[in-house]
Amino acid sequence: MKSVFMTVWLKEMTDALRDKRSLMAAMSYALFGPIMMAVAFMMVIKDAVSERDVYVHIDGAQYAPALVDFLGDRRIFAGDEENTAREIYLEIPENYEENIASAKPIYITVRSDYSERSDGSHRSRLESALREYNNTIASHRLTLRGISADVISPIRIDKQDTATKEARAAMILGTVMVFVLMAIFFSGMNVAIDGSAGERERNSLEFLLAQPVATHWLVMAKAAAAGTFALFGGVLSILLIPLVFVFVPLEKLGIDFGMSWLDQAGMILVLIPLAAFASILQLFVSFRAKSFKEAQTYISLVMFIPVAVIFAVEFTRFEHPALAMLPVTSQHQVLLATIGGQDINWLMVLGGAGVTLAVTAVLVAVVTKMLRSEKVVFGL
């Protein structure tokens, strides 16, 4: 009976590989996720890390040349024709020098539209530079009066980050893993629909079922063909992630990102049962549909569930021991643990894979039963 499985699988694969639509779908989901995330990260990093020059309006610069120099060291400059100043106004009063000399408070104004978010980081840079200058002058004055500057800063905070670089990477790259799982669910979709609702639409389903082939082999071969595409999508995105993220300067965020060949192989192994599960789920749904279009509608509704689950778990950081055992969530956890550089509990991984395969087997039985039912096949 194994040869029948191969016959059906090979035929479905040949057909799907010649179908540009299936191929494009499989490729695009796999490419889309990692590339989109990489671009998003690049934007974030560029914004967060780069110390760009800030140009503001400085009124009364002539009264406080030392302060202006200090700001210049912090890359804050007065705007000119070449570099237009932002709508941030720094006003230095006329009596600046006089008040400095007599140790009286000086009122410096920072005027800006504080509801304008795009200027926010520039404003805070200006303000923190001013605060820093304030502290510098204060400590100079104390030192001149024979008092240690330490008395005005009794508490010093020493930040010690215990997050491993991998853990920090996991937090960010968890989002990328969501796309790997989605690639699994979307890459095989067209193949699954074509092998089920498509057969019905072509009027070839009845004829196929009238062949001397045990129905469960037929179901398994069709699921395997769709699953091959699903896995292909998943593998493609896993292989692509390190390649794409080479171009993202993650180290600037203090993130050390690396995926060894071994990590990748492990992830791919974990995705195999998920690909089988996704495909049989799609067959289950689309064998009930009368046409390709109808199947697409049903499937997109059903595919919303795993995607919603992944996003919910990913963004709420919900934790429960059962998650390590359920299809979709168990694979998600393994992927996260792998890129987080955490030790992987292989017993749990096997458990998750076992449960996923068991659910898959149950669905194979259900679909087989469906195809033996006169009601489902002939729509009676």
Question: Exactly one of 101, 103, 157, 210 binds other proteins (CB under 8 A); which one?
Answer: 210
Applying CB under 8 A, the span of 7-15, 74-82, 121-129, 357-365 interacting with other proteins comes to 7-15
The smaller minimum CB distance to other proteins, of residues 221 and 235, is found at: 221
Q: Are 246 and 42 in contact (CB under 8 A)?
A: no
Q: Does 81 bind other proteins (CB under 8 A)?
A: no
CA dist 27 and 194 (Å) reads 17
Longest dimension (CA), the chain: 104
**Binding of other proteins by 166 (CB under 8 A):** no
Q: In the complex, what is the shortest distance from the CB of residue 309 to other proteins, in angstroms, rounded to a whole number?
A: 35
186 exposed, middle or buried (CB, 10 Å; 0-12, 13-18, 19+)?
buried
Is residue 206 a contact residue for other proteins (CB under 8 A)? yes
Under the criterion CB under 8 A, does residue 4 sit at the interface with other proteins?
A: yes
Which token pair is 284? 């289950």
Residue with Cβ nearer other proteins (50 or 203): 203
- Output 15 or 294, the one with its CB closest to other proteins: 15
343 binds other proteins, rule: CB under 8 A: no
- Is 134 a binding residue for other proteins by CB under 8 A? The answer is no
Burial of residue 80 (number of CB atoms within 10 Å: 0-12, 13-18, 19+): exposed
Question: Taking a C-beta distance cutoff of 8 angstroms, is the pair 228, 13 a contact?
Answer: yes
Which segment (8-16, 25-33, 227-235, 271-279) binds other proteins by CB under 8 A?
8-16
Q: Which stretch binds other proteins (CB under 8 A): 10-18, 81-89, 176-184, 350-358?
A: 10-18
Single out the segment in contact with other proteins by CB under 8 A; choices: 3-11, 41-49, 175-183, 347-355. Answer: 3-11
Q: Is 214 in the site for other proteins (CB under 8 A)?
A: yes
Handedness of CA 184, 187, 193, 195 (dihedral sign): negative
CB of residue 214 to other proteins, shortest distance in Å: 7
Contacts of 223 (CB under 8 A, 6+ apart): 192, 276, 279, 280, 283, 360, 364
Member of 62, 204, 260, 300 binding other proteins (CB under 8 A): 204
> Are the CB atoms for 23 and 194 separated by under 8 Å?
no
Nearer to other proteins by C-beta: 290 or 320? 290
Strand order in the sheet with 109-112: 76-78, 54-59, 88-91, 109-112
- Round to whole Å and give the CA distance between 49 and 62: 32
Window of 88-96, 123-131, 212-220, 331-339 that interacts with other proteins by CB under 8 A: 212-220
Report DSSP letters for 258-295, one per residue. ---HHHHHHHHHHHHHHHHHHHHHHHHHHTT-SSHHHH
Cβ burial 6-15 (10 Å sphere, 16+ → b, else e): eebbeebbee
Q: Is 346 in the site for other proteins (CB under 8 A)?
A: no
Establish if 14 lies at the interface with other proteins (CB under 8 A): yes
The Cα 174–Cα 318 span in angstroms is 14
What is the contact mask toward other proteins in residues 358 to 377, using x (rule: CB under 8 A)?
A: ----------------x--x
Contact flag: residue 11 with other proteins (CB under 8 A): yes
Total residues at interface with other proteins (CB under 8 A): 26
Q: Of 5-13, 65-73, 226-234, 318-326, which segment contacts other proteins by CB under 8 A?
A: 5-13
DSSP 225-259: HHHHHHHHHHHHHHHHHHHHHTTS-GGGGT-----
How far apart CA 178 and CA 191 sit, in angstroms, is 22
Residues that bind other proteins (CB under 8 A): 3-4, 7-8, 11, 14-15, 18-19, 199, 201-204, 206-207, 209-214, 374, 377-378, 380
